Structure 1
């Protein structure tokens, strides 16, 4: 039986995120992000951990990196983050080029899930945290359109009858708002957040 799960290329979004990482100034590492209590340095550390965990999930290389629940508030950037984080993002994109990454079961964040679902979770992390970093550091952000659509659909499907998504209560956004704003709202963030907020 042939697997018909849709696949997509991670590379456009990982390259966009790598450029955002490159644009972070050292003096911004302690600045706040749209996630309460999470500084830029913690968000960078979280993204690094996410890239490694989902790279290993795609490879079905299960162990400490895939068994640990992510926590953006405690992760920090390492001393070599400017080189290590883009490298991990490249490796993540490369791992999902293997058709086997999209089939069967795997694990990430200590949760067992199908490979195709792991891909959707991973790209959602890249899209939403790209927005977090861009807003926190004053950079322009236009995510990869395919990644954005996958992220939006994944978050929309997770909303329950009470209006809660996987990251907390959904922030209402007009239906005619840009897709990125609607996706950010589904993630429990205010699309109007600024560094002065």
Structure 2
């Protein structure tokens, strides 16, 4: 069975997996658009997100405090396998019912939040490592709506930075999404 969230995750997942697979070992210490994360840190964070949001789909408490280094032998293959499990976890219609005991938000919102991380952090990794990245077009409208809805609270909690000035309606949709999360769509490691 599938849900709207699992369909969107299915569209976003291969692009995130490609960005992860495109990171070479000699790029792990490069900076990213997430100023607090080097590539290695962002990969570990994204791995944690993918695993913990599997638990959230099952309405279980995630484990955010443990911060293992996931970049051991075979980490690219494990990331792909965990991402497939994430899509599967959100394909159960029951995953979208009610409020998340782990986040205190509607489950549909939680599912869209992991879609946001998968999409935006894939862009972060791609731009940090010189890879091309094009998001799945169908994920952008719900992500933009989520960022408009949750943006003030996310900025207050330090999850998003202040919006960047690329929010005009004629800017590409991905650029507007990045701007809402406080990212500069023109970011480059050398800037």
Q: TM-score, normalised by structure 2?
A: 0.87
Q: CA deviation at 1:146?
A: 1.9
Give me the CA root mean square deviation: 2.3
- Return the match for 1:127 from 119, 140, 150: 119
> 1:144-196 CA deviation, whole Å, 9 max, x = no partner?
11222221111012244xx9795121111132110000000000011110121
Which structure has more relative contact order (CA 8 Å, sep 6+)? It is: 2
- Return the match for 1:179 from 154, 157, 173: 173
* Cα distance in structure 1, aligned partners of 2:93 and 2:83: 18
* Cα distance in structure 1, aligned partners of 2:63 and 2:42: 20
Runs of 4+ more than 4 Å apart: 5-8, 163-166
Q: CA deviation at 1:6?
A: 5.7
Aligned to 1:88: 82
Aligned to 2:64: 68
- Number of matched residues? 184
> 1:85-115 CA deviation, whole Å, 9 max, x = no partner?
111111101111111111122244xx22221
Query: 5+ residue gaps in structure 1?
Result: none
Aligned to 1:48: 47
In proportion to residue count, which structure has more strand?
Answer: 1
Q: CA deviation at 1:83?
A: 1.8
* Cα distance in structure 2, aligned partners of 1:166 and 1:36: 12
- Return the match for 1:115 from 99, 103, 107: 107
Q: TM-score, normalised by structure 1?
A: 0.84
| Structure 2 SS opposite 1:133 | helix
| Structure 1 SS opposite 2:164 | coil
In proportion to residue count, which structure has more helix?
Answer: 2
Query: Taking structure 1 as reference, are residues 76 and 35 closer, same or farther at Cα in structure 2, changes over 3 Å only?
Result: farther
Given that 1:170 and 1:187 are in contact with CA atoms closer than 8 Å, whether structure 2 keeps it comes out as yes
> 1:54-102 CA deviation, whole Å, 9 max, x = no partner?
1111122x23xx15269xxx76433032121111111101111111111
* Cα distance in structure 2, aligned partners of 1:43 and 1:195: 15
* Cα distance in structure 1, aligned partners of 2:137 and 2:84: 19
